[in-house]
Amino acid sequence: ALNLNDIQGDILIGMKKNKERFFFFGINDAATFKSKLASDIKSLVTTTNQLLSVNTQPTTAVNIAFSHTGLTTLGVTDSLGESLFDQGQFADLSSLGDIESNWVPGFKGTGVHGVFLLASDTVANLDDQLASIQSILGDSITEIHRVEGAARPGDQEGHEHFGYMDGISQPAVQGFTQSVLPGQALLNPGEFLLGTDGDSTTRPDWATGGSFLAFRQMQQKVPEFSKFVSDHALSVPGLSQEENADLFGARLIGRWKSGAPVDLAPLHDDVNLANDNTRNNDFTFDHPDEAGFNLATNQTNCPFSAHIRKTRPRADLGSENTGHHIIRAGIPYGPEVTDDEASSGTSSTDPSLERGLAFVAYQSSIQNGFHFMQQSWVNNANFIFGKPTPPGVDPIIGREAGSAMDTARPVSGTDPLNPSQSVSLDIEFVINRGGEYFFSPPISALDGKLAA
Ligand code: N7H
């Protein structure tokens, strides 16, 4: 059985608070850090069990994860069996299709040793918790970078900055998920947690129940995206100009802003469907009951290129046993679009107005999880394979490795009336600002292996 008192809370369930701070640090004094980790920090770290009941949830949830250089700084040299983790994300930058000049300085290289993830209802709580962590650790750590996550305000809560509901589809985990919802992939815990059922890689015992955390600071060019979508309104008869624009946007994602999947709501948004978790994920892209429907060629309902189809092809690959799944635990960061930005259709260059997604993915293999998804599916214009027209890269987060910033990306399938036609995406809506690969250790390692 999974030890839910030992597995950090963010991995399987998510800290799910409206504010989340990612505090990236370097370790200056390993001996002091190790002793404080065991004596004071370990007891602050939130377990999975604690998050399961409202009564045991702390005011501010705390998780901690280490980069490879972080572990070596602590004297831990055991192989965790993951070479991408060993190299760090900076070395993986070009395979991911990133452009180095877009990376924030703190992520360039391997200087980030660890990250604290702090989640609470208010920024004041985060400040308090961080202040106590900093007073415990003193000069043994230095801040390198931080990302301030915050749920969007009002009726946009739960929506990412482009306006789409997020956090709907997550894998269910055998031996953990109590009730599996229709359409959820039910997977072995070993796909997410090291050393558990279904993880066939050799791992050190102390790492059992840990998970690799892929962090990405993904800037979103929101006014540009909104303008592009309204400029490319479809011309489906019976829909207004605005509905045709919303439909175009929904087909880029595979879901309407409400969260309703276009596979089940192909022409009109359906808020009741969106809000019903027994139905909003219950689709496969195949429609065996529809006479003459051919999964290999028919993208009338959902484009092969849609973001949720590129990242989880469902019936396109025959089964969910692809070995390529992640648990997502990201949160938006940055302020709302200003009136100036909205009216000009251009994001401000003021750094304080940068906004996007603080992307977090958990998996037991970065190679098969985040990295594979980004490199072999999202950035591969021919995926999903075997379709009549190459789908193109993922319109939201895809770019072919090695392509210049201004290379237009052709994406097909967006127009249900003329699916073979391509739209040329001539601006990037998402700019990767960098990140790092971390290991979120089992809590027992914090006063065990990591403190020894
Ligand atoms: Fe994506 N978006 O608003 O466009 N994502 N994503 N993602 N994403 C999903 O189904 C978004 C990113 C996945 O199970 C939804 O919960 C944005 C990366 C996967 O059907 C929306 C960014 C990767 C799924 C977005 C971003 C993925 C998914 C629908 C970056 C991996 C679940 C909500 C700025 C490489 C698929 C939902 C499934 C869903 C958006 C990044 C992967 C709205 C804005 C980097 C696996």
Greatest pairwise CA separation for the chain in angstroms: 69
Can you give the pLDDT at residue 403? 87
Q: Whole-angstrom Cα distance, residue 389 to residue 250? A: 20
Region at 265 (left for phi over 0; alpha for psi -120 to 50; beta for the rest): beta
The closest-lying atom of ligand 1 relative to the alpha carbon of residue 164 is: 43
Q: What percent of the chain has pLDDT over 70?
A: 100
- Of the given ranges (80-84, 98-102, 110-114, 403-407), which has the lowest mean pLDDT? 403-407
Coil, helix or strand for 420? coil
Can you give the pLDDT at residue 233? 98
The domain total for the chain is 1
What amino acid positions are annotated as catalytic residues?
166
CB atoms within 10 A of CB 321: 12
**pTM score over 0.95:** yes
Q: List pLDDT tens digits, range 122-169.
A: 999 999 999 999 999 999 999 999 999 999 999 999 999 999 999 999
Distance from residue 218's CA to the centre of ligand 1 (Å): 12
Which range marks the domain in which residue 20 is found?
Answer: 9-218+435-451
Amino acid identity of residue 312, one-letter, is R
The closest-lying atom of ligand 1 relative to the alpha carbon of residue 361 is: 31
15 in any annotated domain: yes
166 in any annotated domain: yes
57 in any annotated domain: yes
282 in any annotated domain: no
Chain mean pLDDT for the chain: 97
> What length does the chain have?
452
Q: Are strands 409-412 and 141-150 parallel, antiparallel or unpaired?
A: unpaired
Is the C-beta atom of 141 inside 6 A of ligand 1? no
CB atoms within 10 A of CB 240: 9
pLDDT interval class at 268 (50, 70, 90):
very high
Distance from residue 447's CA to the centre of ligand 1 (Å): 35
CB atoms within 10 A of CB 278: 10
79 in any annotated domain: yes
Is the C-beta atom of 196 inside 6 A of ligand 1? no
When pLDDT is averaged across residues 345-349 and rounded to a whole number, the result is 97
Residue of the CA atom closest to atom 25 of ligand 1: 166
Q: Whole-angstrom Cα distance, residue 88 to residue 84? A: 6
Residue 144 CB contacts under 8 Å (≥ 6 apart), including other chains: 24, 25, 26, 106, 111, 112
Ligand 1 pocket test: pick from 307, 380, 430 the residue with the most ligand atoms within 8 Å of its Cβ: 307
The closest-lying atom of ligand 1 relative to the alpha carbon of residue 167 is: 16
Burial class (CB in 10 A: 0-12, 13-18, 19+), 4: middle
Residue of the CA atom closest to atom 46 of ligand 1: 311
Would you state the structure tokens that stand for residue 150, as one six-digit string? 């915050």
Q: Whole-angstrom Cα distance, residue 313 to residue 63? A: 31
Q: List pLDDT tens digits, range 34-51.
A: 999 999 999 999 999 999
Distance from residue 262's CA to the centre of ligand 1 (Å): 15
Distances (CA, A) of 375 to 114, 203, 378: 25, 25, 6
Q: Whole-angstrom Cα distance, residue 56 to residue 51? A: 7
Question: Residue 384, preceding bond cis, omega within 30 degrees?
Answer: yes
Can you give the pLDDT at residue 248? 98
Would you state the structure tokens that stand for residue 266, as one six-digit string? 């192909």
User: Do 279 and 181 form a contact (C-beta atoms < 8 A)?
Assistant: no
Q: List pLDDT tens digits, range 86-104.
A: 999 999 999 999 999 999 9
Rounded to 5°, angle at Cα 118 from 259 and 143: 125
90 in any annotated domain: yes
Q: What percent of the chain has pLDDT over 90?
A: 97
Scan for tokens 């969106």, then name that residue.
274
Ligand 1 pocket test: pick from 192, 246, 347, 397 the residue with the most ligand atoms within 8 Å of its Cβ: 397
The closest-lying atom of ligand 1 relative to the alpha carbon of residue 374 is: 35
379 in any annotated domain: no
56 in any annotated domain: yes
Would you state the structure tokens that stand for residue 135, as one six-digit string? 């007073």
Q: Whole-angstrom Cα distance, residue 147 to residue 25? A: 12
Q: List pLDDT tens digits, range 312-329.
A: 999 999 999 999 999 999
